[in-house]
């Protein structure tokens, strides 16, 4: 089953810039390894907001939550896990990215991402 896992940093973020960058690199490396082995099928981040979305292929929602909780930013992030099928995948990803831009002063990225899905 496919799951859209999306998250955005809780505000205010308690991380220093150095801690943030360290976790960003660790998370990026983790998701790239998931992409290499087929656990993750797609991954994206917004330039206007600290957050991202990953499409995970997992046997159950419990496993999708376990994977989401293992991400380095998980303790600092509002996470949503949503089952997705092929028919609703584009809409599910667009909604995940829209949630990330909610409240952002620069919402220009959301419409462009929505059109692309």
Structure-token pair, residue 20 = 């943030």
Looking up tokens 């990215």 gives 97
Cα 39 to chain center, whole Å? 14
| Residue 19 backbone dihedrals phi, psi, to 5 degrees | -65, -40
Model-level pTM? 0.73
- Provide the strand spans (E) within 46-103: 51-57, 77-84
pLDDT tens digit at each of 117 positions of the chain: 999 998 888 888 899 999 999 999 999 999 999 999 999 998 887 555 667 889 999 999 999 999 999 999 999 999 999 998 766 666 666 666 666 556 544 333 333 333 333
Angle at 111 between CA 92 and CA 6, to 5 degrees: 35
Could you tell me the residue ranges of all domains in the chain? 2-116
The beta-carbon contacts of 26-32 under 8 Å, at least 24 apart in sequence, are 26/72, 27/71, 27/72, 27/73, 30/70, 30/71, 30/72, 31/71
CATH fold of the domain at 2-116: Alpha-Beta Plaits (3.30.70)
């Amino acid at each position: 089953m496919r799951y859209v896992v999306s998250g955005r940093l809780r505000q205010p973020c308690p991380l220093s810039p150095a801690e943030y960058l360290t976790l960003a690199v660790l998370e990026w490396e983790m998701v790239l390894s998931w992409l290499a082995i087929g656990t993750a099928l797609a991954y994206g981040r917004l330039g206007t907001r600290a957050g991202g979305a990953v499409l995970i292929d997992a046997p159950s929602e419990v496993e999708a939550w376990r994977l989401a909780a293992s991400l380095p930013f998980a303790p600092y992030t509002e996470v949503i896990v949503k089952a997705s099928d092929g028919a609703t995948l584009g809409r599910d990803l667009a909604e995940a990215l829209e949630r990330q831009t909610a409240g952002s002063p620069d919402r220009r990225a959301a419409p462009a991402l929505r059109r692309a899905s």
